[in-house]
């Protein structure tokens, strides 16, 4: 019997993309996911002829070799993503929905595919990916009032928050479990008002953001700022959301949030929201760097490279 594999990023965009798709096309499937940083997900499966793989919100560039193996074995694959794909393999069993425009996320691509049938979850995801303008645009037809939109934003942020960590040990919930809990709710407002998992995430998020908010920037100009978080589980959980919050508070400034880890730092970069460009270029100048124009990162910046990174950030986002 054919097996369905759902391979998705463990962040809000990945989870909401799959949620939309499986609300529209219910199907028992094998779930393959992990923390946000776990992106080499396709290598974890061995699909056979006739099996169907759906991939959501993980870069094809990091999965191309594994994807080709699955296709050669006779599996078929639908691939939805908004990260830089590298060269897209040409294969009759591969269908791609890839768009790297800075104002789309994978859930908005799935929304396009579904003609907006589960739109509200694309709104949640876009808020989670810090694409508030796109989220509001997508939400227009839903005619939600401002407090409701704010609730969806908080939900997106809380789901997203749960994906950040070095491993699932840092997280409140394994992303596959969070997806399964969420998937019982077609209506996000019921999840918000009735699901204890949401309260736990919201409280965790508030506590971690409070701690991060106590930190002073390591470096700050009118155009960029650097924050360094200590080597702790709460730092790893909150680093992405903290970076997004900084971007919202200072839309003309670029931000780098560095989290200390043995040997160096994990780096999250956010380009200025007012002109979301350059984060990927900056990070690609360092080994293990990658991402999108508006949001990018470096998996391990060695400690001696700290000054070089700060200089590169200031050079990319100079004071006029």
* HSE toward the beta carbon, residue 261, CA cutoff 13 A: 19
Identify which of 224, 284, 297 has the alpha carbon closest to the alpha carbon of residue 255: 224
Nearer to Mn ion (CB atom), residue 264 or residue 291: 291
52: which strand partners?
A: 4, 76
Cβ 242 to Mn ion, closest distance in Å? 18
Cβ 14 to Mn ion, closest distance in Å? 7
Instruction: Tell me which residues in 253-282 interact with Mn ion (CB under 5 A).
Output: none
Instruction: Tell me which residues in 152-191 interact with Mn ion (CB under 5 A).
Output: none
Cβ 222 to Mn ion, closest distance in Å? 29
Full DSSP string of 177-189 = HHHHHHTT-SSHH
- By CB under 5 A, name the one of 51, 57, 111, 154 that touches Mn ion: 57
288: alpha, beta or left, given left = phi > 0 and alpha = psi -120 to 50? left
Nearer to Mn ion (CB atom), residue 57 or residue 208: 57
Measured between alpha carbons, how far is residue 311 from residues 71, 219, 240, 275 in Å? 44, 11, 22, 20
CA distance 171 to 86: 30
Question: End-to-end alpha-carbon separation of the chain, Å?
Answer: 62
Cβ 104 to Mn ion, closest distance in Å? 9
Nearer to Mn ion (CB atom), residue 106 or residue 134: 106
Cβ 87 to Mn ion, closest distance in Å? 21
Tokens of 158: 């809380």
Q: Which residue is nearest to Mn ion (CB)?
A: 13
Assess contact for 231 and 262: CB atoms under 8 A. Answer: yes
Nearer to Mn ion (CB atom), residue 13 or residue 280: 13
Cβ 9 to Mn ion, closest distance in Å? 6
Element (H, E) at 15: helix 12-24
CA distance 156 to 154: 5
Build a one-symbol-per-residue string for 62-101: x at contacts with Mn ion by CB under 5 A, - elsewhere.
----------------------------------------
Nearer to Mn ion (CB atom), residue 80 or residue 309: 80
* Residue 7 sits in the site that holds Mn ion (CB under 5 A): no
Number of amino acids touching Mn ion (CB under 5 A): 5
- By CB under 5 A, name the one of 6, 13, 111, 154 that touches Mn ion: 13
Assess contact for 48 and 73: CB atoms under 8 A. Answer: yes
Build a one-symbol-per-residue string for 99-128: x at contacts with Mn ion by CB under 5 A, - elsewhere.
------xx----------------------
Cβ 57 to Mn ion, closest distance in Å? 4
Positions touching Mn ion (CB under 5 A) are 13, 57, 105-106, 129
């Amino acid at each position: 019997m054919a097996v369905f594999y759902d391979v998705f990023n463990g962040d809000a965009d990945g989870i909401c993309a799959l949620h939309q798709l499986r609300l529209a096309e219910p199907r028992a499937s094998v779930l393959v996911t992990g923390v946000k940083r776990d992106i080499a997900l396709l290598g974890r499966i061995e699909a056979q002829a006739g099996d169907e793989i759906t991939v959501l919100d993980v870069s094809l560039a990091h999965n191309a070799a594994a994807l080709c193996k699955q296709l050669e074995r006779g599996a078929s694959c639908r691939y939805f993503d908004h990260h830089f794909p590298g060269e897209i393999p040409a294969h009759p069993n591969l269908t791609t929905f890839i768009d790297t425009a800075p104002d789309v996320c994978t859930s908005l691509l799935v929304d396009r595919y579904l003609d907006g049938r589960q739109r509200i979850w694309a709104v949640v995801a876009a808020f989670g990916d810090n694409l508030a303008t796109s989220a509001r645009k997508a939400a227009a037809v839903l005619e939600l009032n401002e407090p409701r939109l704010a609730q969806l934003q908080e939900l997106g942020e809380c789901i997203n928050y749960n994906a950040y960590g070095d491993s699932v040990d840092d997280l409140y919930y394994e992303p596959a479990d969070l997806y399964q809990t969420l998937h019982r709710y077609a209506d996000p407002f019921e999840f918000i008002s009735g699901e204890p998992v949401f309260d736990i995430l919201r409280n965790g998020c508030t506590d971690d953001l409070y701690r991060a908010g106590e930190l002073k920037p390591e470096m700050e100009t009118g155009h960029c700022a650097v924050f360094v978080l200590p080597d702790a589980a709460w730092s790893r959980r909150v680093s992405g959301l903290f970076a997004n919050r900084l971007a919202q508070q200072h839309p003309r400034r670029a931000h780098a949030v560095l989290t200390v880890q043995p040997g160096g730092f994990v780096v999250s970069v956010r380009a200025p929201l007012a002109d979301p460009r350059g984060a990927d270029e900056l990070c690609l100048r360092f080994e293990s760097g990658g991402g999108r124009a508006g949001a990018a990162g470096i998996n391990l910046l060695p400690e001696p490279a700290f000054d070089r990174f700060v200089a590169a950030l200031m050079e990319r986002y100079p004071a006029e």
